[in-house]
Chains A and B, each alone.
Chain A
Amino acid sequence: MTTFAELLLGGVALGSVYALIALGFVVIFRATEVVNFAHASLLLAGGYVTAVLHDDIGFWLALAVGVAGAALVGAAVEFLVMRRYRGRDHSVLAIVTIGVDILLTTELARRIGTDVLSLGDPWGDAVVTIGSVTIAQTRIAAFLAAALLITAFLLAFRFTSWGVAMRAAAESPSTAALMGVRLGRVSLGAWAVAGGLAAVAALFLTVFPTPGLERTTSLAALKAFPAAILGGLDSTTGALVGGLLVGVTESLATGYQGDLTFLGRGIGDLAPYLVMVAVLLIRPAGLFGTKELARV
């Protein structure tokens, strides 16, 4: 029972980090209808900036610069690349993001090399014990940070003019333009926000019990894909639920790996995708996604 509770809590914390990544993904998809395959490289960029700077300027400042840096990289990708292709087919744009991802990831992987970089977080490997349940401080911090950011984002999405413009543009770009919404700005803002969220997620993907930032960290970030997709690509709620579902599944599958040896090793990495496939078989639009509606 203790193991189960620990795994569950760890899964929820991990899931909230996936939710952060998935949220950025959904934001870009809603604002521009582009599936952003470059998201993992934005995450890697944010993490790298934090890792490089934390020795000189301290962890918190480095984190802030990392978040700003990833937001800037996101905005730059939008401004320098995506904007040139506006009005093209969305599948063309999605493929362009794959190209951007390869470029960014290759350059960052070259810089990181074979190192495992620490991000210099203050939590280290400290744990908190409540009753018989032990959980890493980093996991608690991850959950709190993700909950805070997601709440702030959802409130802004719902109540600010920025949110109204974003939702209007998501629903109908041409009508939003008639309201004076500047679509370029909406899209730029979406990429910047997604980058910033990804940088925070980078921190929590690389802290204890993970050894640190490696060039393979972007692979871990890819687990947010099934999270976003099984939640429904255009739903913010879906991103949250999908993230949690993937986190808990991964945590449980990894934790009970010993009992699942008949499935072979590494089932934890595979489980999120299995869940995604199972969900999509029953609900092709995802749990909270909008069904494709054509009105004649």
Chain B
Amino acid sequence: MSAAALHVRGLTAGYGPVTALRDVSLDVPEGACVAVLGGNGAGKSTLLRALSRTLAFHGGAATAGTVTFAGRPLHGLPPDRVVVAGLCHVPEGRQVFARMTVEDNLRAGALTAARGGRAAAVRRVHELFPVLAERAGQRAGLLSGGEQQMLAVARALMASPRLLLLDEPSLGLAPLMAARIADTVREINAQGTSVLLVEQNAALALRLASHAYVLEVGEVAIEGPAGELAASDEVRRRYLGVVDEQAAADAPAAAVPHLARWEDA
């Protein structure tokens, strides 16, 4: 009951007449790292917005289903109560406050935190991301893409969340930077924060996660332990870009060009 586990049951959400998520159920056990994979428009970002209760900002709404975290229902709460409950959502595309300094961005992340905890939280994120300490006085808009992503994650950590919702942290980053972000996510998870990771970069996500769900057109198509999914032909073909001859013969239409990036990322 008190374990900080997230349970989503039958979640349905959409934007006006368009249903983006249909009857989605998933679990994030305490301390776990769970990945959600899927292509563009599969409903990954909608899922995270539904969890952080910010769908309304994008013209959407959750219409059915329940979300409980640590035994408490989250559906129906305003976004700030969700943050207080221990969920922090790092939105897609980083969304740092470009006109504010790095330091002020971190302060914005700590607005719900107790005053005394702020110094400790700053120390923690500066240890994880030393570059943010160097750039404390700089405007966030002047950081590189990778540094902005670090700042976005650090800003969310300032609220000391128990569950971190990450929306495509590797989006638009060079492979080396994506790998660094992945290392940090692993470290954050090892420090005891659960992670729900939404990614298009399936290879990266499956290496980090212990369990994974594949969303297709708003529904959970496949789920299972990350290792099993990584080994499954279907996932390899569709999301890992691995085409062996047998698979290619099975589905000539779905043949994807071999992309080396996914292998050495």
State whether these chains interact: yes
Q: Which residues of A contact B (CB under 8 A)?
A: 87, 161, 164-165, 167-168, 171-182, 290
Contacts of B79 in A (CB 8 A): 177-178, 180
Q: Is the CB of B100 within 8 A of A173?
A: no
Say if the beta carbon of B76 comes within 8 Å of chain A.
no
Beyond A174-B58, A178-B90: 10 further Cβ-contacts under 8 Å?
A87-B56, A164-B107, A172-B95, A172-B97, A173-B57, A176-B108, A177-B57, A179-B108, A179-B112, A180-B84
Identify which of B91, B98, B99 contacts A178 (C-beta below 8 A).
Answer: B91
Q: Is the CB of B108 within 8 A of A164?
A: yes
Least Cβ distance of A233 to chain B in Å? 15
Q: Is the CB of B112 within 8 A of A168?
A: no
Contacts of A179 in B (CB 8 A): 83, 108-109, 111-112, 155, 159
Q: Which residues of B contact A (CB under 8 A)?
A: 52, 54, 56-58, 78-80, 83-84, 88-91, 95, 97-100, 104, 107-109, 111-112, 155-156, 159
Q: A165-B108, A167-B97 are in contact. Are A174 and B57 (CB under 8 A)?
A: yes
Q: Is the CB of B97 within 8 A of A178?
A: no
- A178 CA to B159 CA in the complex, in Å? 11
- A68 CA to B104 CA in the complex, in Å? 30
Contacts of A167 in B (CB 8 A): 97, 99-100, 104, 108
Least Cβ distance of A88 to chain B in Å? 12
Q: Is the CB of A161 within 8 A of B107?
A: yes
Specify which of B79, B108, B159 lies most central, judged by the most chain A CB atoms within 10 Å of its CB: B108
Cβ-closest chain A residue relative to B108: A168
Q: Is the CB of A177 within 8 A of B54?
A: yes
Cβ-closest chain A residue relative to B115: A161
Least Cβ distance of B148 to chain A in Å? 12
Least Cβ distance of A169 to chain B in Å? 9
Contacts of B112 in A (CB 8 A): 179-180
- A7 CA to B46 CA in the complex, in Å? 60
Q: Is the CB of A178 within 8 A of B83?
A: yes
